[in-house]
Structure 1
Amino acid sequence: MSTQQHTKILLVDDDPGVLQLLSMRLEALAFEVICADSGDAALSKLKSECANLVISDLRMDGMDGIELFENIQTQYPGLPVIVLTAHGSIKEAVNATQKGVFSFLTKPIDKDELLSSIQQALELGSENISTQNVENNIVTCSANMQQLLEQAKLLAKSDINILIRGESGTGKELLASALQAASSRADQPFIAINCSAIPPDLLESELFGHVKGAFTGAGRDNKGLFASADGGTVFLDEIGDMPAPLQVKLLRVLQEQKIRPVGSQQDISINVRVLSATHQDLEDAIGDGRFREDLYYRLNVASLSLPPLRERRADIQLLAKHFLANIAARNNATPKRFSPEALCALSAYDWPGNIRQLSNIVEQLAALSPAAIIGEAQTIAALPQTTSPAKGLPPLAEARKQFERDYLEQVLASTKGNVTDAARQAGRNRSDFHKLIKKHQLNPDALRDAKK
């Protein structure tokens, strides 16, 4: 029964009487029930609520049960659906189950049959979740994350290089580790390095190794991370911060699958898959000349974009509870709980630091709360107060972009739309200058004509 107490069922029916009756029956079985009176309302609920199972009437005004199922199948793969109908037929049942509906039950619903179907559906759902998420410590019930994980599962089977995008704290290394775990290299090394955390003059040695005496302090040979990961995967976090000279050497490694340790004259053949990540806009960095375009295409054979936590709000409460459970397990203690109001406060916050920030806040609240229940006031006090930019001043990134556009317009106008002269005046090569024009969607001919 304890498992059922933590199970949330979304019940969908456009008949208020049936909805209330079924809701009471399920709650009597110790399930937590969310009610929706239409298919559209159900999809709206799923954006903010984490359901383990959906039970829907077949005949409803607007979106019927099968249409609802098809939407759920697209947006929330792995979420089981049971369809109920007072007008059941063999043809409809066969059609529903062929589409992937877990079970098709005819009203009046037999209590034992319903409970049996629910338990079987939940077992199926929990298997799907554990293989996709929990084993890799990726906790989610959000549609956009479920879609991302489905893409990741497919990409993991190949051996291509993948670029993972996302704001700081969204779990890029966790996703990279999940890709490795689901790949054919799962039993081989997975080595991660943050390119922004190591001084530029040491990064080459860390990546590709060095021989004894290669530089002051090199008292012995060092294999380097690429050689240590041979047969496995290297994860290069914050790849956008890699120094330009090292970008050239990394490009050669990716092209030839060979490394040359610092101070050595010998190449070493390696077999590694490269996963990389960044919170930067690499297209902007290419336009600014800070990142090599050829390296970008070598790293970005496929791309996965992690959504910020504010765009997966259904996961906030789920993650907060998950972190509390982990803290209790780590300390061999009884898990604390958030009050419903505290959970609402967490869900309403925008989390600029994403999952990392949420984890830190939960750690803080668990340590400072003397009671078993963490309340709303304490939670709100722990959340940093957001501040808006000074009145009249845009954010720095926006101001920089506007300045760049204004500058391009002025230099193009001064050269009467001649791109070659404008590039020379701006101190950029013609190819880079064309990319900047394209980035800002400028038309040199129109600018020239406007200044006549």
Structure 2
Amino acid sequence: MLNSVIVVDDEASIRTAVEQWLSLSGFSVQLFAHAQECLAQLPRHFPGVIISDVRMPGMDGLQLLERLQADDPDLPVILLTGHGDVPMAVEAMRNGAYDFLEKPFTPQHLLGSLRRALEKRQLVLENRRLHEQADLKSRLESTLLGMSQGLQQLRRQVLDLASLPVNVLIRGETGSGKERVARCLHDFGPRADKPFVALNCAAIPEALFEAELFGHESGAFTGAQGKRIGKLEYANGGTVFLDEIESMPLAQQAKLLRVIQEQKLERLGANQSISVDLRIIAATKPDLLEEARAGRFREDLAYRLNVAELRLAPLRERREDIALLFEHFARSAGEKIGRVAPPLPGAQLAQLLTHDWPGNVRELANAAERHALGLGSPNIEVAPAGQSLSEQMEAFEAQCLRAALRLHGGEIKAVMQALQLPRRTLNEKMQRHGLLREDFMMRE
């Protein structure tokens, strides 16, 4: 239950009396003598109610109401009025005020109105939260594409972790989308308006690694012309994505560990520490603890990075996503050149579904772009290791159903006609493959 209340009144005796009544009833009370002070310190999405006198010097209660309504029309405002201000207060309620109390008023009258206003505020904020979650989920579904159970679980994990202040380790094969997932963890969290700095540890020469991460002062080493801000300092307040973290030199691992532990760093050639607020997201293909046991990685750093772990399944383990991703990449490539990508023949779709995809999503995107540009497809092996014929046929059937449902917006009759299936057979196949028509229906 919300219990935050702001009281705005230029009369000290009224402020004191209201504060005593409300505090004794368990409310958290903040007092202001002037409306301008309230506006200056009012937090965004204030989870409570404003109680304000109407007649005040400077900005009065009606002007305060107007300003509050402009920022948040659902914020409850209770006005305190003198006898002569009642018609004015009634008009204010037509303009958005929640209630008005005529002075002198009893504590019971005030508490009753306040509790009702707080209940309303709680419902509004909960409704907003649900809408925001639905919006985030929709945006994430259009960013991390896929219908497989693995992708659905990954999206849930990303939404859960995005808002948490913890470091994350992403494990996955080359081309599986580790940077895209890292970007989602940043974009869907509270640091979204701060920098996202991506760094591939395998691409930086060891001699330049420290300067790249930590920056340097002028003259710190031969060729250090002027002061340079390092990647970690530049990302202050935001997120640093360290791809192929297993390639980081051991000497720099120790310095990174200190930054994580102390939230401070020093530029090369400097004696003064700089405070930084960072979230570290690291990505690796091998197991960092196995790398540590082999002496190639610091075990203490591995534990610091792996507060939470996300595993990205290779494309061969989520074949039901292949056609959807191929269609997306082909359409995007066609749009760039003003051309509609040609439809994919069934035989080629079967090849896509049975290929082993060692390059994962990156390889699939390349194949889709070549198709959209009319350049043909690269050589594709059609016999994935460890997958039986029946498994390949099941994957192909599931994808045909998914494509038809998507094409016809979940309209069952149209899908039945397109696939020439009776309703009962279609329902059984959809149930076996975990397909729901609601997931394919056109949304406004």
Q: TM-score range by the shorter chain?
A: 0.5 to 0.7
Q: Which residue of 1 aligns with 2:380?
A: 383
Q: How does 1:179-328 map to 2 (within 5 A)?
A: 179-328=185-334
1:216 Cα shift? 1.9
- Consecutive unaligned residues of structure 2, counting only runs of 5 or more, are 1-133, 386-444
CA contact (8 A) 2:245 2:282 kept: yes
Q: Which residue of 1 aligns with 2:372?
A: 366
CA contact (8 A) 1:361 1:383 kept: no
State whether structure 2 residue 141 is matched by structure 1 residue 133: yes
Give the letter aligned to residue 239 of structure 1: I
CA contact (8 A) 2:351 2:380 kept: no
Q: Larger Cα Rg: Structure 1 or Structure 2?
A: 2
Residues 162 and 128 (structure 1 numbering): CA distance in 2 closer, same or farther, change over 3 Å?
closer
Q: Which residue of 2 aligns with 1:348?
A: 354
CA contact (8 A) 1:166 1:278 kept: yes
1:127 Cα shift? 6.5
Q: 2:171 aligns with which of 158, 165, 172?
A: 165
- What is the CA deviation profile of residues 179-216 of structure 1, one whole-angstrom value per residue up to 9, with x for unaligned ones? 00111001111000000001011111111111111122
Tell me the SS of whatever aligns to 1:365. Answer: helix
C-alpha distance in 1 between matches for 2:303 and 2:381:
39
Given the two structures, how large is their TM-score scaled by the length of structure 2?
A: 0.54
Residues 365 and 208 (structure 1 numbering): CA distance in 2 closer, same or farther, change over 3 Å?
same
CA contact (8 A) 1:185 1:233 kept: yes
Give the letter aligned to residue 262 of structure 2: E
Give the letter aligned to residue 182 of structure 2: A
Residues 150 and 278 (structure 1 numbering): CA distance in 2 closer, same or farther, change over 3 Å?
same
1:358 Cα shift? 0.9
C-alpha distance in 2 between matches for 1:350 and 1:280:
20
Tell me the SS of whatever aligns to 2:281. Answer: strand
State whether structure 2 residue 162 is matched by structure 1 residue 156: yes
C-alpha distance in 2 between matches for 1:281 and 1:310:
20
After TM superposition, which residue ranges in structure 1, 4 or more long, deviate above 3 angstroms?
126-129, 384-388
1:341 Cα shift? 1.8
C-alpha distance in 1 between matches for 2:379 and 2:330:
15
Tell me the SS of whatever aligns to 1:338. Answer: coil
Q: Which residue of 2 aligns with 1:41?
A: none
Q: Which residue of 1 aligns with 2:152?
A: 146
- What is the CA deviation profile of residues 39-98 of structure 1, one whole-angstrom value per residue up to 9, with x for unaligned ones? xxxxxxxxxxxxxxxxxxxxxxxxxxxxxxxxxxxxxxxxxxxxxxxxxxxxxxxxxxxx
1:368 Cα shift? 3.6
C-alpha distance in 2 between matches for 1:179 and 1:305:
14
CA contact (8 A) 2:340 2:372 kept: no
C-alpha distance in 1 between matches for 2:304 and 2:311:
17
C-alpha distance in 1 between matches for 2:214 and 2:292:
24
Tell me the SS of whatever aligns to 1:203. Answer: helix
Give the letter aligned to residue 256 of structure 2: L
**RMSD between aligned alpha carbons?**
2.0
1:366 Cα shift? 2.7
Q: Which residue of 2 aligns with 1:174?
A: 180
1:335 Cα shift? 2.6
1:264 Cα shift? 1.1
- Consecutive unaligned residues of structure 1, counting only runs of 5 or more, are 1-125, 370-377, 389-452
CA contact (8 A) 1:208 1:223 kept: yes
CA contact (8 A) 2:341 2:371 kept: no
Give the letter aligned to residue 238 of structure 2: G
C-alpha distance in 2 between matches for 1:186 and 1:240:
26
Give the letter aligned to residue 179 of structure 1: L
Tell me the SS of whatever aligns to 2:203. Answer: coil
CA contact (8 A) 1:168 1:279 kept: yes
- Seq. identity, %: 46
C-alpha distance in 2 between matches for 1:251 and 1:272:
12
1:128 Cα shift? 7.7
C-alpha distance in 1 between matches for 2:381 and 2:223:
44
Give the letter aligned to residue 130 of structure 1: S
C-alpha distance in 2 between matches for 1:386 and 1:241:
33
- What is the CA deviation profile of residues 317-355 of structure 1, one whole-angstrom value per residue up to 9, with x for unaligned ones? 111000011001111222322112211110110101100
